Structure formats: C-alpha cells, structure tokens
Amino acid sequence: MRLLIMGPPGAGKGTQAVELAKRLGGAHISTGDIFRANVEKETELGQAAKRFMDAGEYVPDEVTNAMVKDRLARDDARDAFILDGYPRTVDQVETLDKILSSLGNKLDGVISLVVNPEELIQRLLKRAETSGRADDTEAVIRHRQEVYTHETVPLLEIYGSRGLVIDVDGMGEADVVGRRIVDALPS
C-alpha cells in the first residue's frame, strides 16, 4: 500500500506514520526527519534546509523534490511506503505524480488527521520543553500553522477530487488514533 499522511504541525503524523509503516511493511519516509538528520550531519542538503526550517518556512520545492525522488527510487519503497510531511505544496503534488508514474505506481490513499488547532499549539508548546528543536518556539509554531493553512490545506482538495482522502479524527491517545487509521484504510 502506498499512502500519504497529512495534518497540521503537531497532529501526530510522525508517530502514526512509524506505526503504520511497521504494520504495512513499507518504508516510512519523513521529509522532516531526513532534513533534521542532514542538518545534524552538516551535509550540503542540511545546509540548504536549515535556515528555512529554523524560521518555520518550507524548504524550497526543488531541494525537497530532488530528495524525495531519490528516496522513493530505493528498493524498500517499491511496494509500500508511507510519506509523512510530503507533499506540502501544489508543486510537490505534481512532482510526486510524475515520480510515481515513472515508477509505474500510484497512491492508494491520503490519510488526513483532523485535529483542533488550538489544542495542537498547546501540544507543540509542551513538546518544545523537551524537543530541543529550533523551530519549537511559540512564534515559529504559530507561523508553521499559518504556512500549513496557506500552502498545504489546498492539497486536501486536490486529493479529495481524486477520491483519495480518508479523514481520521486525530484527537485522543496515539493508540486510539492508530486504531482509527487502521479501521479506515482501504482494503
């Protein structure tokens, strides 16, 4: 199964994506994790991404698209994957369409975690106390939510018109949300 998981920053995409990838036996591909690992190792990609991430802005599409193209071409992503944090812009949707069609694949579904925005901000502020992430300050957290609303929410309409969106209530304990996702997956 080839899935996307979408939801605003703090919705718990990462936690759910890890569990789901285990269950489906596919690759978990988190663009945020890949960027953070590269920032830590001070690679060229990390250097290109860091200042955008720290400001709560999206990394430019050409950087992100090239990275995902390489990642999806690897063997472990051939039959099943869960993309977490990608695509986030209309340009990225178009690139993903091209990547998948060149590989002869298509998406099976887009899981959309539906959450309460104010509660999210509170969750993120709590995470900020321990995460050490440079983008976990209140101003940047609020900015990331705005960027998500402007740049990424429109993607739900695009995938909705393709009949791919699976809305899942994202409020509550992680294992409860995980169960809802599994129950909602296409068979």
Closest to ligand ADP by CB, 48 vs 164, is 48
With the C-alpha atoms ordered 52, 113, 84, 162, is the resulting torsion angle positive or negative?
negative
Q: Does 12 bind ligand ADP (CB under 6 A)?
A: no
Active-site choice (13, 36, 71, 180): 13
* Known catalytic residue at 13: yes
Q: Does 16 bind ligand ADP (CB under 6 A)?
A: no
Q: Does 140 bind ligand ADP (CB under 6 A)?
A: no
Positions in 44-63 near ligand ADP (CB under 6 A): 52-53, 56-59
* Known catalytic residue at 98: no
Q: Under the rule (CB under 6 A), what is the footprint of ligand ADP?
A: 9-10, 31-32, 35, 52-53, 56-59, 64, 85-86, 88, 92, 135, 144
